[in-house]
Amino acid sequence: MTQYCRIATFNANSIRARLEQVLSWMATTETDVLCVQETKVQDSEFPVDPIREAGLSVVYHGQKAHAGVAILSREPLEQVDTGLRDGEPDEPRLIRGVYRGIAIVNTYVPQGRDADSEYFQYKLRWLERLRAFFERHYTPKTPLLWLGDLNVAPEPIDVYDPKRLANHVDYHPAARAALQRICDWGLVDVFRRHHPGEAHQYSYWDYRMRNVLERRAGWRVDHIMATRPMAEASTAAWIDVQARMADRPSDHTFVVADFDLPPR
């Protein structure tokens, strides 16, 4: 008997503003684990009750107004922990656990604002800290998924205008190199594995631009990265563009992957 598993990531841009969409999406897609970023709510205000009433388990790590992460799942997660835990001042950007033997690491990587800013330096350092975090806690042989808004488009085909966006913090050579350094540890881009060379596959569109979907003015910055045992177990991956056409959509949409795992 093999074990089927559907795992997804979604930058909700406020879990409270997007709660109905998230719950109906979970109900209709048969997803086992959903990693959420930008929950934008402190833990005491997190909407646990409606999520539990929908039959889901949830863990969360947040603050007022900005950032924040959560994981919704059909069965409870084990070994839940938050933060990078490297002794440096931390923000609510990382939550992790174990789902049926799969290590799940959900992150909201700092955006970086401007390539010339201290915020971009902080982003690059955060990615470096995350690489050290993976080395400390796991091995490339661990069945592990790193999901989230990673705020990095890995390749030219992952942005709508690579020439114009060359210095943008989400497509900057230094940001892509920092992401690559983490992947060199032993992680594979699951979506790209199933869609090599496929252009116009985006997970984020800026609210501030008009007709973004029609113009295909997007970015692929939300990712499902897998260690080798998980990558080999993946059977499909896709981006749910339909969900970006909801009534009050987030500026991001759901990225999903299916896995067919050997028995534990």
Partner DNA sequence: ATGGTGGCACCGCCA
Beta bridge partners of 175: none
Q: Of 207, 245, 263, 264, which one interacts with DNA (CB under 7 A)?
A: 207
Residues 6 or more apart whose CB falls under 8 angstroms from that of 148 comprise 9, 11, 35, 37, 69, 105, 106, 107, 108, 109, 222, 223
Q: How far is the CB of 244 from DNA (least distance, A)?
A: 12
Q: How far is the CB of 40 from DNA (least distance, A)?
A: 4
Q: How far is the CB of 252 from DNA (least distance, A)?
A: 9
In Å, the largest CA–CA distance within the chain is 53
Considering only residues 27, 177, 199, 209, which one is a binding residue for DNA as defined by CB under 7 A? 209
Is residue 248 near DNA by the rule CB under 7 A? yes
Position 93 contacts DNA (CB under 7 A):
no
Residue 180 CB, nearest approach to DNA (Å): 21
Q: How many angstroms separate the CA atoms of 160 and 210, rounded?
A: 14
Q: Is 41 in the site for DNA (CB under 7 A)?
A: yes
Considering only 13, 106, 107, 201, the residue that binds DNA (CB under 7 A) is 13
Q: Is 31 left (phi over 0), alpha (psi -120 to 50) or beta?
A: beta
16 binds DNA (CB under 7 A): yes
**Exactly one of 17, 27, 132, 177 binds DNA (CB under 7 A); which one?**
17
Residue ranges in 101-140 that form contacts with DNA under rule CB under 7 A: 110-111, 113, 119
User: How many of the other CB atoms lie within 10 Å of CB of 262?
Assistant: 11
Closer to DNA by Cβ: residue 18 or 192: 18
Contact 46, 62 (CB under 8 A): yes
Q: Is 213 in the site for DNA (CB under 7 A)?
A: no
**Hey, which residues between 158 and 197 contact DNA (CB under 7 A)?**
none
By C-beta, is 119 or 238 nearer to DNA? Answer: 119
Residues in the chain: 264
Taking alpha carbons only, the member of 257, 194, 63, 62 closest to residue 71 is 62
Residues at the interface with DNA (CB under 7 A):
13-14, 16-17, 40-42, 45, 64-66, 110-111, 113, 119, 207-209, 248
